[in-house]
A and B are shown apart, each in its own frame.
Chain A
Amino acid sequence: DQQVKQNSPSLSVQEGRISILNCDYTNSMFDYFLWYKKYPAEGPTFLISISSIKDKNEDGRFTVFLNKSAKHLSLHIVPSQPGDSAVYFCAATSGGNKLVFGAGTILRVKS
């Protein structure tokens, strides 16, 4: 039972353009959502998060949007840079006890 889904295995974007990574979830009890970035041979690194009581959170080039009615969130990266090339994981939690991850999206930013 995949409670968090990232339906795009990969995404390729030109440097300077916007990258949009999508995530869908099924569990309405999730109250906090996080995005992690992962480089090869490293652990996931926290990027940005959003509480279920908000619909948008922004941190520099990164913005996360949450649509609770659609059970959908997205991560926008503007402008995209080659160093953003990595695997991006969407994760969700209910009460902070454990994180439920999606399968990840490989982002390639071409220069």
Chain B
Amino acid sequence: ETGVTQSPTHLIKTRGQQVTLRCSSQSGHNTVSWYQQALGQGPQFIFQYYREEENGRGNFPPRFSGLQFPNYSSELNVNALELDDSALYLCASSNQGVDYGYTFGSGTRLTVV
């Protein structure tokens, strides 16, 4: 059973640029959620994807967008990067309707300069 894998592990971008982060969900899981963890804080829910559609969204602006593919992998896209977007981005997969077991990846550390 493979876990959740995220790429890249680290990334440095310039303010105003765009970034795409990727996530492969754990085998058998059909739902992917993305979280942002700023320094010294807990993870904050960005959005969730189920059956390739957005299934809930947190308090993040529209420049945060995502995709889920038929194999349940997912992308997080952030446009017009701001300095405050610097954070650890975590992907979590789960099995919607089965249980509340979320499996997290190791995250992508994004630094915006």
Contacts and interface: CB of A to CB of B under 8 A. Distances in A.
Interface residues of B, number: 26
Interface string A68-88: 000000000000000000000
A91 B33 CA distance: 14
Contact of B104 (A32, A41, A43): A43
Contacts of A35: none
Interface string B72-92: 000000000000000000101
Contacts of B21: none
B44 A101 contact: yes
Interface of A: 4, 6, 32, 34, 36, 41-46, 49, 89, 91, 93, 96-104
Interface of B: 4, 33, 35, 40-45, 48, 55-56, 58, 90, 92, 94, 96, 99-107
30 contacts: A4-B42, A34-B100, A42-B106, A43-B4, A43-B90, A43-B92, A43-B105, A44-B43, A44-B104, A46-B102, A89-B42, A89-B43, A96-B94, A96-B99, A96-B100, A97-B48, A97-B56, A98-B33, A98-B58, A99-B33, A99-B35, A99-B43, A99-B92, A99-B102, A101-B35, A101-B43, A102-B42, A103-B40, A103-B42, A104-B42
